[in-house]
Structure 1
Amino acid sequence: MATSQSFSDRLCGIHAATIVPMMSDFQIDEPALAAHIASVASVPGINGLLVNGHAGENFVLSLAEKRRVVELARAHAPKDCLIVSGVNHESSLEAAREATALEQAGADGLLVFPPNSWALAHADGCVIEHHRRIRDATTTPLMFYAAPVGAGAMAYAPPLLEQLVADRRFVAIKEGSWEVAAYEQNFRLIRKLRPEFVVLGSGDEHLMTSYLVGTAGSQVSLACVVPELVVSLWNAAEANDWERVRAANEKLYPLVAAIYRDAPGGRATARLKACLKLLGRLSCDAVRPPQPPVTPDELHALELALRLAGQ
């Protein structure tokens, strides 16, 4: 798509991280996915989509399925919608093949996820090598993903982050630290190293705080459930109207806690899908095993949080 804006410019503002609707047999429901993409991407203020992210169950999709997700996003989102696809694979060789395929499918940019095995242990050289292989297999703009500090060794310490940011093929980072001190430390380091580098404050649990510290925007799954509220929070922050920011945050906070914070962890995708079903935007909220469906307690908390958010 022809545009006068650079990829980095187009990353500004709110980008929704979408889910992948599935049928009861756990196969992708393509018509529901197309409708989900079209609905979310058409909301004023949603400037782009992150597909094949954590919310999109990227760790349990095949390469063919991930490619199809990008194709559907390209076909059903508005023509000016920026499409970024996640790349997530334990093998660097397979991650590079995946990146090539997703670029060919029409992604405007690629977000490189740290393999889950890195949460156990890894050498810094593994991180550099993984990103290098993806870089060398593609030509599209690339982004880093900064994992939550609770993800153990998966999170990038400042010395490693400094090495990563030095690679000019990478132009942005989804800063998902989900811990304010780490977010601010990383934000300040990156801006010192490369002032033009795009930092997206994307920890759904502290959007208001990251907007106060500084950010160019967000790629967040919360925006696939309540896109208008997330956009209103961003617009108020951009206008330095912090009273309006706090009011929007008050509406969002119970929902953020119910989706992302309440124990047990790792349940966000199931809860996002349950929210969309409660709102009448999804007929089946199945998630692929090993994730089980939401429990009655989770469902009750989500129902209450949606009401408090005015949904």
Structure 2
Amino acid sequence: MFKGVLSPVITVFDRNGKLDYEGNKLVIERLIDNGINGLLFLGSIGEFFAMSMAEKQEFTAFVVKTVNKRVPVLIGTGGTVQAEVIEFTRFAEQAGADAAVVISPYYFKLNSTAIYRYYANVARSTSLPIMMYNFPERTAADLEPELVCRLIKEFPHIVAIKDTVDNISHTRKLIQAAKAVRPEFCVLSGFDEYMIPNLMAGGDGILGGLTNVVPGVFSDLMRAYKAKEMAQVEAAQAKISILMNLYEVSAPFVAAIKGAVARMGVPIVPAVKDPAADLTDEQQQRIKTLLVSAGVITADKE
């Protein structure tokens, strides 16, 4: 259902921390124009963790209307309060979203029984397609293949998983196990540089943050891979390898991704929600250096 190059879209705020609707529209149009296959709003890069429920609902209604069915709209509805996750997932369904992306509960390290119960309760509350989100570096718990297979056997509308694990063997094992149960089940990598290894292992693509910065590079990479144009695959992969260093410019990495989008010429303010900090001049320069090194801007571009 969700294949190819998907983007976890940044959320654009103004300098006062309020949603910048014109800025968000510019970001959305750029991604669609560059061939992105689906848009996830309110994911990790979308700063869902720093937004109120009212903000998230307002933003969800806006993005569904703005995208207007041109590509699938996925809404990140996960959180630590199950009742709120269910409430927001139902809201996303009524608003016209195409799927909910649900991260497993975080803070306490939950066992597989508790995680199963969480996803099962969410799945029973909605008919909206669900993508599970595995990010053990943030949740302290891994969605292991056995757990994923149990859930997808029981709930046909759990249709995909984003596996944000810096280990392609982990994703490969998940692909093999899940597709043995349901061949149409989609497994996406959360690390941008693993798109080609994911596809070669039988997976379905990526849902990666660098698509905000260089969506055309990823669209070109997918096209070249399908056409078996290996020189173009290598050229695009080389750019992505350099750009992966953007994730280390700021902590959390959201500010660096936003700064890179702005440096690419998109007229947005790269502001992040408190308590995260905006970019320093030194960080801005590091971003420019990486973009120049990857050949996606020229050195004289301000």
Scaled by the length of structure 2, what TM-score is found? 0.90
Which 5+ residue runs of structure 1 have no aligned equivalent? Answer: 1-7
Map of 2:269 onto structure 1: 284
Amino acid paired to 1:233: L
- Secondary structure at 2:40 match in 1: strand
Q: Which residue of structure 2 lines up, in the alignment, with residue 110 of structure 1?
A: 100
Q: CA deviation at 1:78?
A: 5.1
Q: CA deviation at 1:228?
A: 0.3
| Cα displacement (A) at 1:263 | 6.6
> 1:146-196: per-residue Cα shift (whole Å, max 9, x none)?
225x44633212332232232322011112222112111111111122212
Matching of residue 26 in structure 1 with residue 50 in structure 2? no
Identity %: 25
Counterpart of 2:188 in structure 1 is 200
CA distance in 2, matches of 1:82, 1:28: 22
Count of aligned pairs between the two proteins: 295
In the alignment, structure 1 residue 175 sits paired with structure 2 residue 130: no
Whether 1:164 and 2:186 are equivalent positions in the alignment is no
Q: Which amino acid aligns with 1:156?
A: L
Contact 2:135 2:163 in 1 (8 A): yes
2-structure distance, mates of 1:111, 1:256: 23
8 Å CA contact 1:212–1:237 kept in 2: the answer is no
Q: What is the aligned-residue RMSD (CA, Å)?
A: 1.9
1:63 correspondence with 2:36: no
Please state whether the residue corresponding to 1:160 is helix, strand or coil.
helix
1:230 corresponds, among 207, 215, 218, to 218
Q: Post-superposition shift, 1:197?
A: 0.8
For 1:36, which of 6, 12, 27 is the aligned residue?
27
CA deviation profile, 1:71-100 (whole Å, cap 9, x unmatched): 222222253211111112101111101111
Change (3 A) 1:304 1:214: farther
Q: What letter corresponds to residue 105 of structure 1 in structure 2?
A: A
1:155 aligns with 2:147: no
Residue correspondence of structure 1 range 90-101 to structure 2 within 5 A: 90-101=80-91
Task: Map 1:77-156 to 2 at 5 A.
Answer: 77=67, 79-117=69-107, 120-148=108-136, 150-151=137-138, 153-156=140-143
Aligned amino acid, residue 214 of structure 2: V
**In the alignment, which residue of structure 1 is the partner of 2:260?**
275
Corresponding residue SS for 1:155: coil
Which secondary structure does the structure 2 equivalent of 1:154 belong to? coil
TM-aligned CA deviation for residue 250 of structure 1: 0.6
- Partner secondary structure for residue 76 of structure 2: strand
Query: Is residue 210 of structure 1 aligned with residue 198 of structure 2?
Result: yes
**Post-superposition offset of 1:284:** 1.2
- Per-residue deviation at 1:53? 0.7
Q: Deviations over 1:122-166 (max 9, x none)?
A: 122221121122212211111111225x44633212332232232
- The question of whether the paired residues in 2 share the 8 Å contact of 1:178 and 1:205 is answered with no
SS at match of 1:74: helix
Question: Cα 1:273–1:180, aligned 2, differ >3 Å: closer, same or farther?
Answer: same
Aligned with residue 244 of structure 1, among 232, 242, 262: 232
Change (3 A) 1:263 1:299: closer
Which of 200, 209, 224 is equivalent to 1:221? 209
Letter of the structure 2 residue corresponding to residue 169 of structure 1 = H
Aligned with 1:46: secondary structure? coil
CA contact (8 A) 2:193 2:240 kept: no
